[in-house]
Amino acid sequence: MRPFVVLSEPIHEAGLAVLEAAAEVRVIPEPTQATLRQAIADADAVIVRLFPLTAELMAVAPRLRVIGRHGAGLDNVDLAAATKRKIPVVYVPRTHAVSVAEHTLTLILAVARRLPELDDAVRRGKFHLRNQIFGTELNGKTLGVIGLGNIGRLVAEKCRNAFGMRVLGYDPFLAPDLPVPADRVADLDVLLRESDVITLHVPLTPQTRSLLGARKLALLKPTALVINTSRGEVIDEKALAEALHARRIGGAAVDVYATEPPPSDHPLLSAPNTVLTPHAAAHTEEALQRMAVSIADDVLAVLRGERPAHLANPDVYAP
């Protein structure tokens, strides 16, 4: 009998084809707690993207043998609950780093050169605003990278080489002898005070939740730009919006939000000097294909009784 795999959201057709060659697959295009609860009751595997997979949901799936997280972050999967049941959780930690890094550079340029305002001026017949809307160069400026994992190091390298930026890096969890394309600083406050552009590339953990709150944001230069492609909760969004409205910082570009999609009254939606994208940093054809095939391969490996390549909870294989 072929295993039954449930996808909480669609994935790239290349990964879907890998799954369908070996399993019965059900895709839920617009998941809710009720629809996912019903779907996974008989599932051998479930793959989630942004939808939260809680211990409560896992409890209604007695046959569940493997959980796939289509992405690098694991904050929407109850890893402890899965591990307690000896359910391997597989994920894709490295397949989309290039796409996220490139999107980060796109956001930096967009907010530094005020591209949305310039685009809007042309569309509204306000061509003369070219004499009032001025951007800023990146060459010679200081980039502060918070989090020096795969994505953070790529962003640092690209900004240093392409834009001629001085790069500072902060990551207290990184091995001190690991070479990085940045000048490492041990004090986050130093990075915040000295940087012209701050970009965050950290997972959501108890240590990083609200990492940039009102006090930290107050350390920034009045011209500083804040970029977030990691997780919405690592910044106090209300404090960020207040700093933007008060012109205490120069601008912000954000791809991720504490609640997704953000509600209509989200404070950043009305904040000035912002560029907002819908959690799409990894959404390139190439990255989505790699992610989908990788997660499909690992899920099927577990279902065949093999150890997967990318395992988030190796304790499940402990004797």
CA–CA dist 16, 297 (Å, integer): 10
Instruction: Tell me how far apart the alpha carbons of residues 58 and 81 are, in angstroms, rounded to a whole number.
Output: 8
Strand order of the β-sheet with 183-184 is: 183-184, 166-170, 142-146, 197-200, 225-228, 251-254, 274-276
Judge whether 296 and 19 are in contact, CB under 8 Å: yes
| Those residues with Cβ within 8 angstroms of residue 31's Cβ, 6 or more apart along the chain or in another chain | 8, 9, 51
pLDDT at 116: 96
Residue 239's CB is within 10 A of a number of other CB atoms, namely 18
pLDDT digits (tens, 9 = 90+) for 67-107: 999 998 898 999 999 999 999 999 998 899 999 999 999 99
Which residue among 49, 279, 290, 310 is the active-site one? 279
Q: Is residue 1 predicted with pLDDT exceeding 90?
A: no
Strand partners for 24: 4
* Average pLDDT of every residue of the chain: 96
Fold adopted by 97-276: Rossmann fold (3.40.50)
Active-site entry in 137, 260, 286, 306: 260
Question: Is the pLDDT assigned to residue 268 strictly greater than 90?
Answer: yes
pLDDT at residue 31 above 90?
Answer: no
pLDDT at residue 35 in the model = 92
Asked if 20 is an active-site residue, the reply is no
Q: What's the pLDDT at 3?
A: 97
Among 231, 266, 290, 310, the active-site one is 231
pLDDT of residue 73: 86
Beta strands in 171-229 (DSSP E): 183-184, 197-200, 225-228
Over 90: is that where the pLDDT of 318 sits? no
Q: DSSP string covering 64-112, please?
A: --EEEESSS--TTB-HHHHHHTT--EEE-SSTTHHHHHHHHHHHHHHHH
**Helix (H/G/I), strand (E/B), else coil: 249:** coil
Whether the bond between 261 and the residue before it is cis, its omega within 30 degrees of 0, is yes
107-157 pLDDT tens trace? 999 999 999 999 999 999 999 999 999 999 999 999 999 999 999 999 999
* Phi (first) and psi of residue 302, to 5 degrees: -65, -40
Among residues of the chain, what percentage have pLDDT more than 90?
94
For domain 4-95+285-317, give the CATH superfamily.
NAD(P)-binding Rossmann-like Domain (3.40.50.720)
Q: Where do the domains of the chain lie?
A: 4-95+285-317, 97-276
Active site residue 231: yes
283 has catalytic annotation: no
Same fold: 4-95+285-317 with 97-276: yes
